[in-house]
Structure 1
Amino acid sequence: MFEFATAGKIIFGNGTLKQAAPVAAVFGRKALVVTGRDTDRAAPLMDALAALGINCEMFAVSGEPTVELACQASQFAVDVVIGFGGGSVIDLAKAAAALMSNPGDPLDYLEVIGKGQPLTERAVPCIAIPTTAGTGAEVTKNAVLASPEHKVKVSMRHPFMIPDLAIVDPECTLSMPPAVTASTGLDALTQLLEAFISKKATPVTDGFCREGLPRAVRSLRRVFENGDDLAAREDMALASLFGGLALANAGLGAVHGFAGPVGGMFSAPHGMVCAALLPHVMKVNLAALREREPNVQTLERFDEFSRMTGGSKAEDGISWLAGLCRDLQVPALSTFGITEADFPVIVEKSKNASSMKGNAVELSDAQLTHILQAAWL
């Protein structure tokens, strides 16, 4: 038995941004447009909305979305919320839309640090338009918010938070600089691979992973080296979308289990944290599976991924990941101010993360610490 949930509608393709304003007009005449710090990028969207008589408020997110920012954005009285930006922007848009219609303290709905209560009312209609190719947030039912007070990033999560419409226009990602292309693209690759070997994987999510992983393998390095390669941009936009569809229904694993606490404790790009951890998590997962469950189907998936990279056995795929991280200039965890003295706290927090529950195999504190040590050097 399994379930599958996603956005009410997905529109993919070059030039599809132009469909956003007509759909928004169906929901009403007042819109909140959540953007990144560069609000000029949203000018064509804002002009299209204004041309249809939609009154817009703009809310810019300059960094990681926080619980406080979600509260601020939820104070607007609008008919539709539009998230136009990267995963942080879309997560904030989803959280704001949910809090607009669900009263109470956000901590009532947050996992780990809050009560984790379910939403009782449908969120205000939400349109998600990614301008990066990484998180797949446009099709997921959660929003990751930072709580500086608790030094952790946690999720609001409920099916009501899935956007009503996801518009994925690869042309919107053309302006990403190489560093952002690498960070977001590595996040997409990580999400696809973790969902593929997750305990919660299903035949439906497997299909998305088997379509998405080869695209990321063949195009991530290409688009890092040449950001104008539209075919590679399309591949990565699809990989990100497929990763979102997969993780929303199959969960993730230890990489993202670590990434939440690390991102909450230190100023570090999420995708780079994931990339620094990924080869080492895969290596420890592989060894643990061979030791404890040598006949599980998951082991075959390590080999399958390796073949996608041109290898023949599981170790080849892990070596390919390590090489990609070097080529895309992924820094060690120590670069972000993490010290070995921080490892016990990170390990303890990671064990409470929802993503850790989907990891291919349960890992001990010693194994988790070994991963951090390997990614830290």
Structure 2
Amino acid sequence: MAVTGFEFATATRILYGAGRLADAPEAIRALGGHRVLLVTGRDATRAAPLREGLERLGLSCVSFTVEGEPTVERVREGTALALHERCDAVAALGGGSALDAGKAIAALAPHGGDPLDYLEVVGRGQALTKPSLPLVAIPTTAGTGSEVTRNAVLGVKDAQVKASLRGPTLLPRLALVDPDLLKGAPPTVLASSGLDALSQLIEPLVSARANPLTDALAREGIRRSARSLRRAVLETPDASAREDLALASLLGGLCLANSGLGAVHGFAAPVGGMYEAPHGAVCAALLPATMEVNLRALRARAPEHPSLARFQEVAALLTGRAEARAEEGITWVRELCEALRVPGLGAYGLTEAEVPRLVARARAASSMKANPLTLSDEELTEIALRSR
């Protein structure tokens, strides 16, 4: 594949390793934090060691919880709290929802105004130009890679859509990835987040914007996900499986932030806005059909496209067999989804009658721009129907 130029951006600093959560308090103090907004998911007790470490250093904490997926309304409340309490740093610990909320609050607090002033697609899309509050992002699930991405996905209830705040100021100052934080994660969370990570490795590798740096990261991540995701969900994940899942998620975040995604995430954004559906499970439901339709479209309309050979490479990485055909990779993904009991989109409320509206929204999604080629409405409709 010819290299025509690319950009690679990520968090200012990445700390990875078992037990590295203990390093977070000193790292936050080193960033100049004195009064920290501590953003968590619904289980705020998971942040107790971090809170205690901050307090031992003489730093004060203000707690803010995000019960479900982050919304414009909840981020407004968090931003107002950060300003009222004069917080000078943000620590976000949790799944992708907590991390995206923390990133949004850290970016919005210095700007003033409303999230909709800066939100893309359904907002005014103004640029975030002022530096964010210093932000440390600490994932407790292995899926979104949000700790190293430059966007924050927010739900907009009135518009029934999810859209992003986006820009370089959204990148955390520190991404701290501790695989020990996956201990005790429910199998459903491991499955949903792990399949999200896998889709965020496969889509960038076949992306129209793939580049040599993300290619290398995607290959490593796919190998790790392929060898550990199934056993991590169906058995109790050991240290090596936790490491593989945590690294696959981190690598997927680096890939999506720098090479884009594709039709899986193009659909996932409007599905998440239209229905109460966990993002990772939605991506998992869409992945097999999307891969198959993309492969067929490339063969029919762009047989010389460089992404076509990537589908065979994905199959080799997933199966561990260099001679595997592209179709075998799709079968591998489909069988994994069946083994992990991934529900179809109909389980969240998608009906056949709503598919045209979903297709129209998916076509407008920013992730669709990096799909290997432009899919027709008929092809998008096929993906939606087969993912039900």
Give the equivalent residue in structure 2 for 1:9: 13
TM superposition score normalised by structure 1: 0.99
Matches within 5 A, 1:91-102: 91-102=100-111
The answer (yes or no) to whether the contact 2:219–2:317 under 8 Å persists in 1 is no
Q: Tell me the CA shift for residue 263 of structure 1.
A: 0.5
CA contact (8 A) 1:145 1:153 kept: yes
- 2:54 corresponds to: 49
Q: Secondary structure at the match of 1:101?
A: coil
User: 2:67 is aligned with what amino acid?
Assistant: S
Pick one of 353, 360, 375 that aligns with 1:348.
360
Question: Who is 2:71 aligned against?
Answer: 66
Runs of 4+ in 1 over 4 A off after TM superposition: none
Q: Distance between the aligned counterparts of 1:167 and 1:259, measured in 2? A: 26
1:292 to 2:301 alignment: yes
- The answer as to 2:314 corresponding to 1:329 is no
Query: Please, which moves more after superposition, 169-178 or 227-236?
Result: 227-236
Q: Structure 1: how far apart are the matches of 2:233 and 2:305?
A: 35
1:256-309 per-residue CA deviation (whole Å, 9 max, x = no partner) reads 000000000001111111111100000000000001110122111111111112
Q: Is the 8 A contact 1:177 1:227 kept in 2?
A: no
Shift of 1:69: 0.9
Is residue 103 from structure 1 mapped to residue 122 from structure 2 by the alignment? Answer: no
Q: Is the 8 A contact 2:222 2:318 kept in 1?
A: no
Confirm or deny: 8 A CA contact 1:139 1:162 kept in the other structure: yes
* Counterpart AA for 2:72: V
Match of 1:189 among 198, 202, 205: 198
Deviation at 1:120, TM superposition (A): 1.7
Does the residue aligned with 2:314 lie in a helix, a strand or coil?
A: helix
For 2:279, the equivalent position in structure 1 comes to 270
Pairwise CA distance, 1:255? 0.4
Q: 2:39 aligns with which of 15, 34, 59?
A: 34
**CA distance, structure 1, for counterparts of residue 98 and residue 203 of structure 2:** 23
Q: Which amino acid aligns with 2:201?
A: L
SS of residue matched to 1:74: helix
Match of residue 359 from structure 1: 371
Identity %: 53
CA distance in 1, matches of 2:247, 2:11: 15
Letter in 1 for 2:379: Q
1:6 maps to amino acid? T
- Please state whether the residue corresponding to 2:124 is helix, strand or coil: coil
Matched-pair contact (CA < 8 Å) for 2:148–2:250: yes
CA RMSD of aligned residues (A): 0.8
CA shift, 1:105, in A, is: 2.0
Q: How much does 1:227 deviate?
A: 3.1
How far 1:80 moved relative to its partner? 0.7
- Say which of 123, 126, 147 aligns to 1:117: 126
Q: Secondary structure at the match of 1:57?
A: strand
Report the count of equivalent residues: 376
Tell whether 2:229 aligns with 1:220.
yes
SS, match of residue 24 in structure 2: helix
User: How far apart are 1:28 and its partner, in Å?
Assistant: 2.4
